[in-house]
Amino acid sequence: MSTDAPIVAAPPDAFQKRLDGLLIVALVVWGLAQLAPHLAHPAIYIWDEAMHQAAARGTHDTFFTPHIYKDPVFPADPRHWWAAHVWMHKPTGPFWFGALMMHVVGVTPLALRLASLLGHLAAAVSIYLIARRPAGRFWAVLGAAGFLAMPFGWQLVQGRIFGDVTDCTLTGCNAIAVALLFHATRQDSWRWGLAAGAAVGLGFLCKTGLALTPLGIAATLWALSRLRFCPGPRFSTVVAMVGMAVLLAAPWSFYSAWRWPELHDLEARVTRAHLFADPTVDVGPWHRPVDALLNEVNTQSLAPLPAVLPLLAFVWLLVRAVRRRELEVVGLALWVGATWLVLSLSVVKVPAIAWGRCPPSWQRWPSRARMPDAIPRSRRRSWRRSPRRGSSSTCRCSVMSAPCSPRCWCRRAPGPGSPRDWSWPPRRRCSPRSCAGACRGSCPGRPRGWGSWPRACSRGCWPSPSQWRRQTTRPGIWTTCTSPTPARWGARSTSRRRRAVSSSSRRTRTCPTPWST
């Protein structure tokens, strides 16, 4: 079996409408109204923004030599990153952007703060793009607007008391990379994988710590798709994503290692010391115990939200990911979990670093606010016949003796723009009447009676272990959705099944699935 074709595919992204563009514009306007006023204030506080502004100013003079002191009178100790000549304590990406902006708006603090503003807006737009499918547009907009209104985000962008352009830009790049990864998976396009990899590469140039998280999400989703757990990207999409990230991030790393080998080695050890204690380097005063999952820094970084918000988001998303197996929900669970573990188990806990867990956590609340089980059945889009491309997927109801597999298989009818024939479990059409005499009208399309699967439609035909044991221990005839492909099902093509197929073609209805649009 080729590794380039995952077994589970995601339906194409149908959420591409003019309304989405208008809502994104509204979010950007809201973000500018919240964060842009007084962004050009002249105050530079003693914390990180002071060093970042100095490094951006040095990069403006010598673009490929970021420095704080251009011509120091006394020899500068490379171990003192707060008073260094060539400054490589943080990657140079945000300072390159700030240097370019200084040619546009002048040598002012506004030039570097524009990078923080753009990173914050990019994160908010990504929250909407990711949450609109599992939660709906209303809750997605509400979550993104709430993210833009957080006080600590305003503090980071404005540089009030504490500002960190590297963390703001990293958060935006990571969020954009995850959104592009989901879009590449739904479009089944390795070109969108290149775009996601470009976002990862830019994030690595902003801050190395969590920039590689989207690559881990992509690899894990691909592996889960091979296990038929949830939709995932093709192997070629993952390779394109990794290749583009390396193409953008590797040249500067090789160049700095060649030009300043001693400084590059020192800063590499400093980066590792943020995760693992290293007495040979100094990483500042932000030391905490390795086992500190909840501490005062996390409380400050997530104000006014509770300190346990990311952990609750991870647990809830993990439960829903196992039950519903939606692409975005599984990806968000991986994103929140990986971010939480890295930031919680690390030695250094700076509030701005912890800001990276806020976008995935905020996307949890829109998804939780709109539970599919709470939506009236008449309001569900999946119960109405979809006018999407091509013909809708057909499901053939066959009668088989119990016990049988609870999984529903179906072959998607080819249509214009259909990138793949197989999806699992796909949008299907079942007929309760086709086998009413055999199983009392029970069908995954409309669960009822003793032979039905409890909450099959709202749970994607994946009953709980207790329900599955209860069903398999009862005698009777089961209704399953099987593929009409003779090569795959062979001996199951019985005359009784053919009669069920002819009956189902006369009267059918749409059955919702976890990934139906």
Between CA 285 and CA 63 the distance in angstroms is: 30
Higher pLDDT: 79 or 241? It is 241
pLDDT in tens, 282-295: 666 554 444 344 44
Of residues 185 and 317, more confidence is placed in 185
**What is the pLDDT, as a whole number, of residue 483?**
35
Instruction: Tell whether 371 is covered by a domain.
Output: no
Last residue of a domain, one of 242, 264, 282: 282
On whether the CB atoms of residues 508 and 430 are closer than 8 A, the answer is: yes
The answer to whether residue 216 is domain-embedded is: yes
pTM of the model: 0.62
Asked if the structure places residue 135 within a domain, the reply is yes
Per-residue pLDDT tens digits for 148-206: 988 888 888 988 877 788 889 999 999 999 999 999 999 889 999 999 999 999 999 99
Instruction: Please report the pLDDT score of residue 190 as a whole number.
Output: 92
Among the residues of 260-302, which ranges form H helices?
261-273, 296-301
Residue 167's pLDDT is: 87
The pLDDT of residue 141: 93
- Please list, in sequence order, all residues whose beta carbon lies within 8 angstroms of the beta carbon of residue 250, skipping any fewer than 6 positions away: none
| DSSP structure string for 427-493 | -EEE-TTTTHHHHTT-BTTB--STTSPTTHHHHTS---HHHHHHHHTS-SEEEEEE---HHHHGGG-
In a domain, 372, yes or no: no
User: Per residue in 322-352, pLDDT tens?
Assistant: 887 888 888 878 887 777 776 666 655 555 5
* Residue 11 covered by a domain: no
Asked if the model's pLDDT at residue 303 lies above 60, the reply is no
Mind listing the pLDDT tens digit for each residue in 437-471?
333 333 444 333 333 333 333 334 444 444 444 44
Tokens for 83?
Answer: 């008073």
Q: Is the pLDDT of residue 360 over 80?
A: no
Tens of pLDDT, residues 463-508: 444 444 444 444 333 333 333 333 333 344 444 444 444 444 444 4
Model confidence over 12-66: pLDDT tens digits? 555 567 888 899 999 999 999 999 999 999 888 877 888 899 999 999 999 998 9
Is 327 within the bounds of a domain? no
Q: Taking the chain, what is the end-to-end CA distance rounded to the nearest angstrom?
A: 29
End of a domain among 229, 257, 282?
A: 282
Q: Which amino acid is at 303?
A: A
Q: Is residue 491 part of a domain?
A: yes
Please tell me the total count of domains within the chain.
Answer: 2
Top-confidence residue, 75 or 40: 40
Neighbours of 238 (CB within 10 A): 27
Backbone angles phi, psi at 285, to 5 degrees: -90, 10
Tell me: do 125 and 256 sit in the same domain: yes
Same domain flag for 278 and 398:
no
In-domain check, residue 328: no
| Angle formed by the axes of helices 213-226 and 190-206, nearest 10° | 150
pLDDT in tens, 392-422: 333 333 333 333 333 333 333 344 444 443 3
Would you say residue 71 has pLDDT above 50? yes
Q: pLDDT for 217-254, tens place per residue? A: 999 999 999 988 888 999 999 999 999 999 999 999 99
pLDDT of 347 reads 59
How many C-beta atoms lie closer than 10 Å to residue 124's C-beta?
A: 30
The residue range of the domain holding 212 is 18-282
How far apart CA 471 and CA 457 sit, in angstroms, is: 16
Which of 251, 282, 313 is the last residue in one of the domains? 282
Higher pLDDT, 251 or 76: 251
The mean pLDDT of 427-435, rounded to a whole number, is: 40
Residue 175 main-chain phi, psi, to 5 deg: -65, -45
CA–CA separation, 3 and 482 (whole Å): 25
Q: Are residues 273 and 399 in the same domain?
A: no
Per-residue pLDDT band for 8 (boundaries 50, 70, 90) equals: low
Residue 290's CB is within 10 A of a number of other CB atoms, namely: 12
Residues 49 and 172 placed together within one structural domain of the fold: yes
